[in-house]
Copies of this chain bind each other. A is one copy, B any other.
Amino acid sequence: MASDHTRSAILAAAERLYADRGFGDVTLRDIVAAASVNLAAVNYHFGSKDELIAELFVTRSIATNRERLRELKAAEEQGGGRAPIEVILHALVGPTLRGCLGPENQRSTAARFMIRASIESVPPIRRIKNREIDHLRKFAGAMRRALPDRSDVDIYWGLNFALAMAHHTIRESERLTKLSEGKCDLDDVEDVIARVVSVATMALTAGRNEAKAPPRALARDAR
């Protein structure tokens, strides 16, 4: 195993460079230069560039997923196997938002890296994301238990919309700040989480009919 120094120097440098400049224009040569390491070291320690990226992403997303499940499990145990829907949603989007938002100058490299990964979506990362379905199914299950009257379809749509709001807010946080001229405070992470959870809860608990029957007259008018 030896010193491991080179390995972790590469990981740190790569994460920082990718976070700062995106996957698009950071080359292996940039990384090894920043890490003060030989070019061949990347292939020696990681096999390939894609495996390096994958390792960075996996590390971080495992941490997030673990935190999510920890919150979920704690909530369900406390509620005797059934947690309130707000708390489930909180466990779903909280760790991600907490990990990626917050005051920019004190945002960790890891957080900035994950934002990049969310924006740019390179192949090795896409492959990993596709394996996340099993993880999401656990949340779908908890949501079903919390809302036994709700159809599966509604559950999945609610899950989809919750993730949508969280991820889009992360991806487009800069644009939202600009659009709102700073009125939307993306640094107040707990407020952002509360907003997402609140809307997602409404989506999941509102009268079933409303969600499915559009105001047809209005919709047709606008055509």
Q: In this complex, what residue of B is CB-closest to A204?
A: B199
Say whether, besides A210-B198, A219-B90, A180 and B156 are in contact (CB < 8 Å): yes
Interface of A is mostly: helix
Contacts of A119 in B (CB 8 A): 121
Q: Sample 18 A-B pairs with CB under 8 A, ordered by A number.
A: A24-B123, A75-B221, A86-B215, A94-B219, A152-B180, A153-B183, A157-B195, A161-B168, A161-B196, A161-B199, A164-B164, A164-B167, A164-B169, A198-B203, A198-B206, A198-B210, A202-B202, A202-B203
Contact with B along A134-173 (1 / 0, CB 8 A): 0011001000000000001100110111011101110010
Question: How far is the CB of A64 from the nearest CB of chain B, in Å?
Answer: 15
Residues of B within 8 A of A3 (CB): none
Bound CA span A123–B212, Å? 38
- When distances are taken between beta carbons in the complex, the residues of chain B under 8 Å from A90 are 214, 218-219, 222
Instruction: Provide the residues of chain B in CB contact with A91, threshold 8 Å.
Output: 222
CB-CB < 8 A to A222: which residues of B?
A: 71, 74-75, 87, 90-91, 94
A28 vs chain B, min Cβ distance (A): 17
| A191 sits at the interface (CB 8 A) | yes
Looking at the assembled complex, report how far the CB atom of A155 sits from the nearest CB atom of chain B, in whole angstroms: 8
